[in-house]
Amino acid sequence: MASRCSGPSATRRGARSSSGDRCVRSPPAKRAGEGREGPLVLAELGPNEIVGEVGILDGGARTATVTALAPTRTLELHRTVIAVVLIQYPAVAADLLRTLSRRLRSADELAEHLSRERPG
């Protein structure tokens, strides 16, 4: 577990993921993916949001780039620490599932919105 201040890019899409970050004290951050015409803003995050959760759970690469809009203090938690916490504290696991569900729903809504904007 480490505490750090994140600069402009806290995480990069495609990077290996062995830890996740919880923004402890921060202004909003942008979470971006890649669209046909460059970066696509998926969400704006605020204090106490978690990033890197997908890579921690499935061991894959990061799915988005997170850019802090100002200096941000985060708490970095390694995958093994998070696994232990999820086992010992089911409420934390439930909170993580709610976060994942909310983000999946938001991504679905964004995809639907973007598909309607395409020239027909």
Q: What pLDDT shows up at residue 63?
A: 79
When computed from its CA atoms, the radius of gyration of the chain, rounded to whole angstroms, is 15
- Global pTM reads 0.69
- Comparing CA positions, the residue from 102, 93, 42, 51 lying closest to residue 72 is 51
CATH for the stretch 2-117: 2.60.120.10
Structure tokens at 113: 């919105």
Q: What whole-number distance in Å separates Cα of residue 18 and Cα of residue 107?
A: 23
Q: What pLDDT shows up at residue 105?
A: 93
Q: What whole-number distance in Å separates Cα of residue 70 and Cα of residue 54?
A: 24
Q: What whole-number distance in Å separates Cα of residue 83 and Cα of residue 93?
A: 9
Question: CB neighbours of 83 closer than 8 A, spacing ≥ 6?
Answer: none
pLDDT of the chain, 120 residues: tens digit per residue: 444 445 555 565 555 655 555 554 556 666 677 777 777 788 888 888 888 888 888 888 877 888 888 888 888 888 899 899 999 999 999 999 999 999 899 888 988 888 887 665
How far is C-alpha 64 from the geometric centre of its chain's CA atoms?
7
